[in-house]
A and B are shown apart, each in its own frame.
Chain A
Amino acid sequence: MPSHAGTPAPDAVPDADSGLAGSPETGPLIEARDVTRVYRRPRTSLTRPGEAVHALNGVSLTVRRGERFGIVGESGSGKSTLLRLLCALDQPTSGVIRFDGQDLAGRSERRLRFLRRSLQIVFQDPMSSLDPRMRVRDLVAEPLVALGEPVGGRVADLLDEVGLPASAADRYPHQFSGGQRQRIAIARALAPRPKVLVADEPVSALDVSVRGQILNLLADLVDELGLTLVFVSHDLSVVRHVCETVAVMNGGEIVETGPVDDVWAAPRHPYTRTLLEAVPTLEDVL
């Protein structure tokens, strides 16, 4: 297994190898090169090790600054594993992941602080991602507190930004509807002024009439704050509305990647075609 640690991959940007040697404002923001993640199943025999599961197999991708990058795949495709690696919540078995030119491999949590500040996540189900015993004020301020930054009047500003009244700060998550809870989760993610917002199926648990509100809000925020968006979804039509670029995953690999309109109009990989054909649309019946 080749180790890339310390040696830049041939196609990497020239000044991307050393830790703090100036983050190039023009280079890619997130870069994954030949990333593999192998899990071991728990052993079922005393004499043999547990079976190896290749969750990711040689995945490479590049997310440019300001890009809206979609990752599409079904359950078991590896999209969640990839997401965990991009957010440094897990380490790859081999391969390199760079954020803003800095290698994420083998860093301690303390040395990942720059990433925790620059990259924030919105999860699928705000009911399980928000602590039910914390008030909205504390939920939204928590990332700032964790980074040791002043909170000040930031909570009220953030709530306003996501379209919630200032009075929301004194309430608990269960007092809000699903869409409002997702707004709280977005406000919380935006608190440390990240460069990148990672949204993991952010609208999958929402009703149709609310889905549009949240997608519109995300689009507005990405525009206004100049964010880079990594948007993970099982639904290619949602990704097509939100993103410019898409990577289609299947069986732990990116089977197709490119501008989303091209992939949508002329899918090259058989799996992408299967996926597109399986999506039910209203137009089919009308």
Chain B
Amino acid sequence: MLSVEGLSVSAESVRLVREVSFAIAPGERVGLIGESGSGKSLTALALMGLLPEGVTATGTARLREHDLLGVPEGRLKRLRGRDVSMVFQEPMTALNPLMRVGAQVAEVMTLHGEPAARARERAVELLDRVRLPRPGQIARAYPHQLSGGQRQRVMLAIALANEPDLLICDEPTTALDVTVQKQMLELIAEVAPALLFITHDLAVVASICERVLVMYGGRVVETGPIREVFARPRHRYTEGLLAASRLTPRGTRLPTIQGSVPPAGRFPDGCVFRNRCPQAGPACETEPTLTGDGHAFACWHPGA
């Protein structure tokens, strides 16, 4: 349903995302994981046509029969919020503080041609669908009157309003408490038509997605079914990330990845991970390609 081929994102001469390719089938939930600076959010913004000024995307991305890249803003406007929509990390900055939330949910429908009265009715139904208590009352509230979890549910209602084919969530639960996060994840899993879920939290992605893409330095370094990738990581970065995510008993050393993520444009040539990789050798000066069927990885010295 969504197919992305050779997506690259650049700011002037710096390539921030390189040659990313993946596909999402209807009903599928795909996770995109990586640390800050890995290019995961830029990948999502490129698909939404929301890249900041001066940042450009090349390659192809098709959602059903619609091209998402290199098309004029007027065409994108009709797709965005209707065929593909997005939930951002911080609902307080994504919502308009001066507008009642019901009106904000209705707005995304009227923009795509729904009559105003019908949109207002549907807004309340949607607030109910994302399990907000007393949706009629919530619709008349302003964002600051709601809790973080409630605001994120409103964001989800807005994203689902036009029954999109694809929902993109960028760290939707990072700002939420764990107990609220759990409810939100269950809700997203239930209502998402097809999902691209971006997070830095491996345990979160494991609880909601079936397939995963691991990004580092603007590239997909490993991809595959989540159980397989997490049980038997092949790329040394994935291996390190998984090891670092497991908190060992008190008094023991935590496994770490040496160094830190370099700033954009400062990743090494060849394998992007080689300056932090314990296995790096001369072969790593040449860029490894993503190889493998189903479970693929780009590493010259893969783990067993």
On A, residues with C-beta under 8 Å from B are 74-75, 177-180, 207-213, 215-216, 219, 234-235, 237-238, 240-244, 260, 274-275, 277-282, 284-286
Contact of A74 among B177, B242, B245 (CB under 8 A): B177
Q: Which 7 A-B pairs have CB atoms at the shortest separation, nearest pair first?
A: A212-B254, A74-B177, A212-B256, A209-B257, A280-B203, A207-B35, A285-B206
Known A-B contacts A238-B247, A282-B206; A207 and B227 likewise in contact (beta carbons under 8 Å): no
Q: Closest CB of chain B to A263's CB: distance in Å?
A: 13
**A280, B248: Cα distance in complex, Å:** 16
**B253, CB-defined interface residue at 8 Å:** yes
The interface residues of chain A lying within 8 Å CB-to-CB of B242 are 282
In this complex, how many residues of chain B approach chain A with their Cβ under 8 Å: the count is 39
**A277, B178: Cα distance in complex, Å:** 9
**A77, B268: Cα distance in complex, Å:** 45
Known A-B contacts A75-B148, A234-B177; A209 and B244 likewise in contact (beta carbons under 8 Å): yes
User: Is the CB–CB distance between B179 and A285 below 8 Å?
Assistant: no
Q: Closest CB of chain A to B87's CB: distance in Å?
A: 18
**B144, CB-defined interface residue at 8 Å:** no
Contact of B179 among A179, A211, A243, A274 (CB under 8 A): A274
User: Is the CB–CB distance between B206 and A74 below 8 Å?
Assistant: no
The interface residues of chain A lying within 8 Å CB-to-CB of B246 are 282
The interface residues of chain B lying within 8 Å CB-to-CB of A237 are 247
Chain B 238-271 per-residue mask, 1 if CB under 8 angstroms from chain A, else 0: 0011101111111101111100110000000000
**A242, B247: Cα distance in complex, Å:** 10
Known A-B contacts A180-B260, A237-B247; A208 and B203 likewise in contact (beta carbons under 8 Å): no
**A277, B260: Cα distance in complex, Å:** 32
User: Is the CB–CB distance between A244 and B250 below 8 Å?
Assistant: yes
**A216, B35: Cα distance in complex, Å:** 19
User: Is the CB–CB distance between A216 and B260 below 8 Å?
Assistant: no
The interface residues of chain B lying within 8 Å CB-to-CB of A208 are 35, 200-202, 241, 244-245
User: Is the CB–CB distance between A278 and B181 below 8 Å?
Assistant: yes
Chain B 147-161 per-residue mask, 1 if CB under 8 angstroms from chain A, else 0: 010000000000000
**B230, CB-defined interface residue at 8 Å:** yes
List 21 contacting pairs A-B, 8 Å CB cutoff, sorted by A. A74-B180, A75-B148, A208-B202, A208-B244, A209-B260, A209-B261, A212-B244, A212-B254, A212-B255, A240-B247, A278-B178, A279-B203, A280-B201, A280-B203, A281-B203, A282-B206, A282-B242, A284-B203, A285-B207, A286-B206, A286-B230
**B226, CB-defined interface residue at 8 Å:** yes
The interface residues of chain A lying within 8 Å CB-to-CB of B249 are 241
Known: A209-B260, A212-B244, A215-B254. 4 other contacts (CB 8 A): A208-B200, A211-B254, A244-B250, A280-B206
Q: Closest CB of chain A to B195's CB: distance in Å?
A: 16
**B286, CB-defined interface residue at 8 Å:** no
User: Is the CB–CB distance between A282 and B202 below 8 Å?
Assistant: yes
**B3, CB-defined interface residue at 8 Å:** no
Q: Closest CB of chain B to A49's CB: distance in Å?
A: 22
Q: How many A-B residue pairs have CB under 8 A?
A: 102
Known A-B contacts A212-B254, A241-B248; A275 and B178 likewise in contact (beta carbons under 8 Å): yes
The interface residues of chain B lying within 8 Å CB-to-CB of A177 are 260-261
**A211, B201: Cα distance in complex, Å:** 12
Q: Closest CB of chain A to B78's CB: distance in Å?
A: 37
Known A-B contacts A207-B35, A212-B255, A280-B203; A74 and B178 likewise in contact (beta carbons under 8 Å): yes
**B204, CB-defined interface residue at 8 Å:** yes
User: Is the CB–CB distance between A241 and B204 below 8 Å?
Assistant: no
User: Among the interface residues B178, B185, B201, which one has the most CB atoms of the partner chain A within 10 A?
Assistant: B178
The interface residues of chain B lying within 8 Å CB-to-CB of A278 are 178-179, 181-182
The interface residues of chain A lying within 8 Å CB-to-CB of B256 are 209-210, 212-213, 216
Known A-B contacts A208-B245, A209-B261, A212-B244; A284 and B206 likewise in contact (beta carbons under 8 Å): yes
Closest residue to B257 on the A side, CB-wise?
A: A209
Closest residue to B276 on the A side, CB-wise?
A: A209
Q: Closest CB of chain A to B61's CB: distance in Å?
A: 27
